[in-house]
């Protein structure tokens, strides 16, 4: 591989960090370096004979007209955001519930973002809309100019298909907007520095009256500068309307307030680590991340659900009786809760397999029963109609195309209304679940998808994440099937600690100073895959993004001997400076604070950027990021690539997309190109290793 020429600008870089200049996101010298790197990487990977066909396959599948149009029902309509080859930036559209259930629904376009982009000269990326109760025609539409998290807001009228003249409008920021009433918008503001937390998120909640300037909006609630963010929302429960205010201390702790008619913001006396909340039939339903004893003596445990009489608390200021709605069970965790008008649904994971329980509240008590959904796969709640009785569920696994199962009667009657066609031949494949013993003896589950008749080691891709309570669940991926599995390769998905596969305790086992557990788990899975003969170390590639990019970065520097290729996507890699790159400070509850000596000790023990070793035998590496990523700064990936290359690791490739943000939103073509390049990279690196 050709080593790109790295030129350092004339400015004097930090003595400790010779590549600090690459943190300047849009400086000419940084972008010149990026363009030089991109030229080498695209020349090598897009120049491969297999690239063009892989790109076309990825693009065809990402933009296929028979992909499932996933939607949510509101007041008789199903709303959906859709992208295909013709509608590159996408359509926000709707159809009636009856039409949605047909094979070819009659869609009504609300906003055509390609048309809007042509008119405005900006490649708008749809970021969602807040609709006004009860007719839901007036919307606060959020649109990102580059695919990042910062979005512009404009008021839109669905009936007239037009933006409201002199309506609510705010420039791009990380602010949040929702309706209080037709003439009042709740703004979680992050415009000026005074409005922002140190993480760059909203710090102040304001009420903005129609016809007034945004800067004149009335503050009603604020957080501390060092908090993560504030948020606000209106919640309806029958005829009751609640204005909920949240002071989010960090990723896993919040103080929740209700704004009372008197103007008082009264805090709910519940633990900071409350989770999975819903208001249903005058009850506040909640879970906890750690053991909490309620004032009435009720023991509230992680992975359980509990409820209290919210109306009683508002009236008296005391919590009263706390009821147990769902008892915790071994290796069963709560994936989420959602409600229709009359029922509450709990999405559970039982040993990383999904199911849903439906709850009713009658005569002051709870009754629960399972929803009759398919078993042994990944079941999720697609939508639950807050003001109606429709609810839909998704079902998938590694070898079963996704489907949408719909009910108009609160889950009583179920019908499969959408099924994605098969994208690859799954008949010769098998999906299995194994366990690996980690360094401390903990058993780590992982999934393997491979040919049933596999005789010896094959090129294998191991994927992991392991952070922020996010679970990795079985799921059908047509692109992976076509570009990887159909070629006789294997895929492995590791359920390491730090994720949410088994509830809060599984996450907390890799929190802060315990982070090494997640890295050890991943290494243990890699070794187990080799021990079972699925792959050799030389034929085993790894991939991870964001926190998963940190995982693969650490895996590269700690265990280069275990892998034949490493893909590091939109990563955190300089853990001693991550809080200096917005919004890095928001993750201190996950990783720790490098400005504190105790935290810096464990962070420096694994931070990949500081552990690049010129003498190590690293496998080929591909790092990817986006200039527009305003969640994980592109400086992490840039600096790591530069340091690896400087240390003589010439098999290091770097690619930076110029748009799309952290999740690669927007135009599917660059997404398809990057996906194809990754599979070309893996195939080239691992083919000689089996």
Angstrom distances, CA of residue 224 to CA of 130, 198, 199, 229, 268: 26, 9, 11, 9, 18
Whether residue 262 lies in the annotated active site:
no
Q: Which residues pair with 30 in a beta bridge?
A: none
Please say whether the beta carbons of 393 and 403 come within 8 A: no
The token pair at 14 is 């930090």
Please say whether the beta carbons of 41 and 652 come within 8 A: no
Active-site residue, from 546, 555, 586, 690: 546
Please say whether the beta carbons of 188 and 175 come within 8 A: yes
Q: Which residues pair with 598 in a beta bridge?
A: none
Nearest to 150 by CA among 123, 171, 181: 171
Nearest to 429 by CA among 382, 498, 476, 494: 476
Residues 6+ apart with CB under 8 A from 151: 127, 142, 143, 144, 172, 173, 174
Residues 6+ apart with CB under 8 A from 635: 22, 23, 25, 574, 581
How many other C-beta atoms can be found within 10 angstroms of the C-beta atom of residue 487?
A: 13
Residues 593 and 601: their CA atoms lie apart, in Å, by 10
Whether residue 162 lies in the annotated active site:
no
CA 591 to chain centre: 18
| DSSP at 150 | -
Q: CA quadruple 526, 530, 533, 536: dihedral positive or negative?
A: positive
Question: φ, ψ for residue 548 (rounded to 5)?
Answer: -70, -25
Locus of tokens 């030389």? 538
Active site (catalytic) residues:
546, 662
């Amino acid at each position: 591989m050709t080593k790109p020429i790295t030129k350092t600008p004339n400015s004097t870089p930090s003595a400790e960090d010779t590549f600090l200049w690459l943190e300047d996101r849009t400086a000419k010298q940084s972008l010149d370096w990026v363009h030089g790197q991109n030229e080498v990487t695209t020349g090598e990977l897009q120049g491969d004979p297999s690239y063009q066909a892989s790109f076309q396959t990825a693009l065809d599948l990402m933009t296929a007209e028979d992909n499932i149009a996933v939607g949510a029902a509101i007041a008789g309509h199903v709303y959906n955001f859709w992208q295909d080859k013709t509608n590159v930036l996408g359509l926000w559209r709707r159809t009636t519930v009856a039409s949605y259930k047909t094979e070819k629904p009659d869609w009504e376009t609300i906003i055509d973002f390609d048309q809007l982009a042509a008119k405005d000269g900006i490649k708008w990326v749809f970021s969602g809309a807040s609709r006004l109760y009860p007719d839901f025609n007036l919307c606060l539409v959020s649109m990102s100019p580059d695919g990042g998290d910062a979005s512009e807001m404009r008021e839109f009228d669905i009936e007239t298909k037009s933006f409201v003249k002199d309506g609510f409008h705010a420039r791009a920021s990380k602010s949040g907007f929702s309706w209080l009433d037709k003439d009042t918008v709740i703004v979680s503001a992050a415009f000026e520095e005074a409005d922002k937390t140190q993480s760059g998120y909203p710090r102040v909640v304001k009420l903005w009256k129609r016809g007034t300037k945004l800067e004149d909006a009335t503050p009603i609630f604020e957080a501390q500068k060092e908090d993560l963010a504030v948020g606000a929302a209106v919640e309806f429960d029958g005829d009751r309307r609640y204005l909920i205010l949240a002071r989010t201390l960090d990723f896993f702790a919040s103080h929740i307030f209700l704004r009372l008619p008197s103007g008082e913001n009264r805090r709910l006396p519940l633990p900071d680590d409350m989770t999975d909340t819903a208001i249903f039939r005058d009850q506040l339903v909640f879970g906890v991340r750690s053991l909490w004893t309620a004032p009435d003596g009720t023991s509230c445990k992680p992975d359980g659900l509990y409820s209290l009489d919210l109306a009683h608390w508002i009236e008296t200021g005391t919590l009263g009786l706390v009821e147990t709605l769902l008892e915790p069970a071994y290796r069963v965790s709560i994936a989420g809760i959602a409600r229709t008008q009359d029922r509450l649904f709990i999405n559970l994971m039982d040993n990383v397999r999904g199911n849903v329980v439906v709850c009713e509240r009658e005569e002051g008590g709870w009754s629960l029963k399972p929803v009759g959904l398919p078993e042994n796969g990944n079941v999720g709640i697609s939508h639950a109609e807050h003001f109606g009785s429709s609810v839909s569920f998704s079902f998938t696994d590694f070898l079963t195309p996704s489907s949408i199962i719909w009910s108009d009667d609160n889950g009583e009657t179920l019908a499969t209304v959408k099924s994605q066609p098969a994208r690859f031949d799954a008949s010769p494949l098998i999906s299995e679940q194994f366990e690996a013993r980690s360094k401390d003896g903990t058993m780590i589950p992982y999934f393997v998808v491979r040919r049933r008749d596999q005789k010896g080691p094959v090129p294998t891709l191991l994927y992991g994440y392991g952070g922020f309570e996010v679970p990795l669940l079985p799921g059908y991926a047509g692109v992976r099937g076509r570009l990887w599995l159909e070629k006789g390769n294997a895929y492995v998905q590791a359920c390491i600690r730090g994720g949410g596969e088994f509830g809060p305790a599984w996450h907390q086992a890799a929190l802060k100073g315990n982070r090494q557990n997640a890295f050890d788990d991943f290494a243990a899975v890699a070794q187990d895959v080799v021990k079972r003969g699925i792959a050799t170390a030389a034929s085993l590639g790894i991939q991870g993004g964001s926190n998963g990019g940190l995982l693969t970065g650490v895996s590269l520097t700690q265990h280069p001997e275990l892998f034949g290729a490493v893909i590091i996507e939109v990563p955190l890699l300089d853990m001693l400076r991550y809080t200096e790159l917005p919004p890095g400070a928001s993750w201190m509850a996950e990783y720790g604070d490098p400005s504190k000596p105790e935290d810096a000790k464990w962070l420096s023990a694994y931070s990949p950027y500081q552990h690049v070793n010129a003498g190590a035998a690293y496998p080929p590496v591909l790092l990817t990021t986006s200039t527009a990523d305003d969640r994980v700064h592109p400086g992490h990936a840039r600096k790591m690539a530069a340091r690896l290359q400087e240390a003589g690791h010439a098999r290091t490739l770097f690619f930076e997309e110029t748009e799309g943000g952290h999740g690669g939103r927007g135009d599917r073509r660059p997404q398809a190109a990057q996906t194809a390049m990754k599979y070309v990279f893996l195939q080239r690196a691992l083919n000689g290793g089996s």
